[in-house]
Structure formats: structure tokens, C-alpha cells
Amino acid sequence: MSTATSALSAEIALDLLEGELAVELPGHVRAFARAHAEGRPPPAAPLLARLASTLATARDAIEHDELADRGFAMLRLVAPLVIEDDPAVAAARAKPPSWPNLAELTRARDAVAQLRFGRTMIELAHLLHGAAAASLEEPATLGAPVAGWHERGPAADAASIQDAWQAIAARLGVSGNVRIDRSAQARPRAFVVEPKREVVIVVPQIVDTPAARFAVLHELGHAVCALALPGGLPRAVDEAAAAYVAMLAEPPSILPPRWTSDLAGEARARRTRLAAALDRVERALPDGGGDRDGVTRALAALGDPATPAWALWHDPGTQASYVAADAIATRLRRDLGTSPPRGQLAAALAAERDRIDRSIRL
């Protein structure tokens, strides 16, 4: 078969797959957002997204330059779903979170990732999401919690959150349907129903601290990214957009009153140090690897937690993306300021995506 025919076959298969997922995913994501807001277990991902044949279609696409960007986008979506759908991984994930059980879960994930990709789950996540080279000087300590960061004050009502979103969307030149749901129990989270069209943001029922407002801004940043660019972005790019928007909490700002805080910069720096410490631990899983001393120091900085952080159990590989994202967002803020010309943020984020895609070798 000629290269041209092979590329045509890969394109036809990818077109069909993208079309089917475009039908199935929106309903799934809306249901996922509702379950998250209500504190219920999320629905299973559509079967099509978990099939080995879907993974094969994505891998075929990345072999052709003209399809590589779409192939990587698909791979970022389906690779973790295929790994998490493995029976051994599902059984390990169902156990109570603990450090021994996390080591077992990591081994199960690594077995599937090694079989399909020739590398560990964390290595694969870092590679696909632009975080393989993420680094930060190892913190001896996270530093004390930022005084006043969780101090209660007047709560932001629905109109206030909408005002913040309108100010952000107008300045950054994005448009689309953004629905903001309130939850009494769920952590803030963004759900991309349809890239460039529809996003659901789940935020706390009560937003009355600088920390809570910062968290809302972060999720609105994910909405900016989702409405500006196609889906399947590297996590480091998506988180960089969220971090860039959350930086608007640091004065001077374009945001309405009450959304800024003199504490935001210090809190952001501490958050990045936390991600770096968790990343140090995660890279050494399941058995400490060759960095036992570094892991010991990282755990000490974290306060020697009795059980793993939620993200290490449920969202493997993301800590390095947070570290990489902070560096990208800092660069974007320096280069673009807080009111970039229309389309410039999207262009800068797209350039970061392309840089990461070009660096991937599977």
C-alpha cells in the first residue's frame, strides 16, 4: 500500500471516529457534570472511547504529518480511558486510597501502559501533555499557608460570577455557551461539552474567600481555552490558560471589584510548590525509584500525609503539568499582558500546543 493510500485510509478512519464521538461525548459530559455537582459517581465513558481499535486509529493518524495534530488530540482523550478500563486497573482503583494501594494501582496502570506504549503511565502522561521536562527547584518546605487566603467575606452571587466571566470573555475575545452550576459539595471543575461551543463550570455554592474566587477564575480560564481552541489539548496548555486567567486576581486587574487580592500571587506560588512536591513523589511511584531521598524530602514538605492526595489516585500525571503550566502562564502574562489583542491568546496557546506535539515521539 502506498504512503498516500495509507494516509487516506488513516484519515477516513479518523473522520469516522471523530464524527461518532462528536455525537456520543456531549451527552456523556453533561451527565458527568451533573453527577460531579451532585456528588454522585460519574457515568462510564462511552464504549467507543475505550476500545483498543479507537486507540489504534489515533496511533495510525500520528504517523502522518497532516493528521498528527488530530491524532494526538484523540490519543490524549482515549489513552487514559483505555488504561483505566483495564480490569486490573479498575480493581486496584476500587480499593481504599492508601500508599500501599497506590503503589499497586500504579503497577497495574504501568503494566497496561508498558504493553501498549512501551513506557509507564506517568511517562506517557508527561509526554502527551507537555510536562516531561517540567522542573522546579525542590522546595525544602511549602511555606506556611497564606494568612487571610481563606478568610470569609461577602459572597459572590451568580450575577457577580457572570460579570467576571463577561469581563474575561470580552477582553480575551472568546464566545460560546458557558453554564455555571453551583454545588454544595463538589470541587470546582470545568467540563468541555463541545470545544469552541459549550462548557459547564461547577463552582462552590458559596464563594466568599479569596481562595474560592481564585478557584472560580481558574475554571473560567479552562472555559476560555475550550472556547478558543479545538479539543484534545496538552494538559500543560489547558492549565496554562487557566493559570493565566487566574492571574487576573493579582492586581492590577481588569476584573470587577472583589475579584482581586493582594494575596493571590503568594498563594499561586505556594500552589506551584505543592504541585512540584507531589510531582516528585509521583515520578518515583510505585517503589521510590532511584530518588528515595528526594521523595522523603518531598513527603516531609507535604507534612508526611497518611494517605495519598486525591490527584495522585484519580488524576495521574497532572502535577508536572501544573508546574509546566505556571511557567507558560507567567511567560504569557509577560508577553501579552492582561488585555492582549483579540486572538493573540488563542494564537499563543496554539503555538504551545504545536511545540508540544512536535516533541512527542511514541
Residue 289, pLDDT score: 64
213 neighbors 248 (Cβ within 8 angstroms): no
Quote the domain boundaries for residue 295.
86-362
Q: Would 8 be classed as within a structural domain?
A: no
Tell me the average pLDDT across 31-53: 96
Residue 304, pLDDT score: 86
Q: Would 38 be classed as within a structural domain?
A: no
Dihedral pair phi/psi, residue 228, rounded to 5° = -90, -30
Residue 140, pLDDT score: 62
Q: What is the pLDDT of residues 92-115, one digit of tens each?
A: 999 999 999 999 999 999 999 999
Tell me the average pLDDT across 316-345: 94
Q: Would 74 be classed as within a structural domain?
A: no
The vertex-305 CA angle with 299 and 308, nearest 5°, equals 95
- Which of the residue ranges 137-151, 174-188, 200-214, 241-255 would you say has the lowest mean pLDDT? 137-151
The answer on pLDDT for 120 being more than 50 is yes
For the chain, the farthest-separated pair of C-alpha atoms sits apart, in whole angstroms, at 67
Q: What whole-number distance in Å separates Cα of residue 4 and Cα of residue 67?
A: 12
Which of 201, 152, 154 is closest to 176 using CA atoms? 201
- Which of the residue ranges 4-18, 28-42, 62-76 would you say has the lowest mean pLDDT? 4-18
Cell reading at 31: 451527565
Residue 34, pLDDT score: 97
Tell me the average pLDDT across 343-360: 95
Residue 1, pLDDT score: 45
The answer on pLDDT for 29 being more than 90 is yes
Cell reading at 277: 512536591
Domain count, the chain: 1
Q: What is the pLDDT of residues 179-193, one digit of tens each?
A: 999 999 899 999 999
Tell me the average pLDDT across 16-39: 97
The answer on pLDDT for 291 being more than 90 is no
- Which of the residue ranges 3-12, 46-55, 324-333 would you say has the lowest mean pLDDT? 3-12
The mean pLDDT of the chain is: 93
The answer on pLDDT for 3 being more than 90 is no
Q: Would 162 be classed as within a structural domain?
A: yes
Q: What whole-number distance in Å separates Cα of residue 355 and Cα of residue 64?
A: 17
Tell me the HSE value of 289 on the side-chain side, using a 13 A CA sphere: 14
Q: Would 25 be classed as within a structural domain?
A: no
Residue 26, pLDDT score: 97
Q: What is the pLDDT of residues 48-80, one digit of tens each?
A: 999 999 999 999 999 999 999 999 999 999 999
Residue 334, pLDDT score: 95
Q: Would 355 be classed as within a structural domain?
A: yes
* More confident position, 34 or 302: 34
The answer on pLDDT for 2 being more than 90 is no
Residue 5, pLDDT score: 55
Q: Would 79 be classed as within a structural domain?
A: no
Q: Would 62 be classed as within a structural domain?
A: no
Q: What is the pLDDT of residues 199-229, one digit of tens each?
A: 999 999 999 999 999 999 999 999 999 999 9
Question: For a pLDDT cut of 90, what percent of the chain falls above it?
Answer: 84
Residue 141, pLDDT score: 73
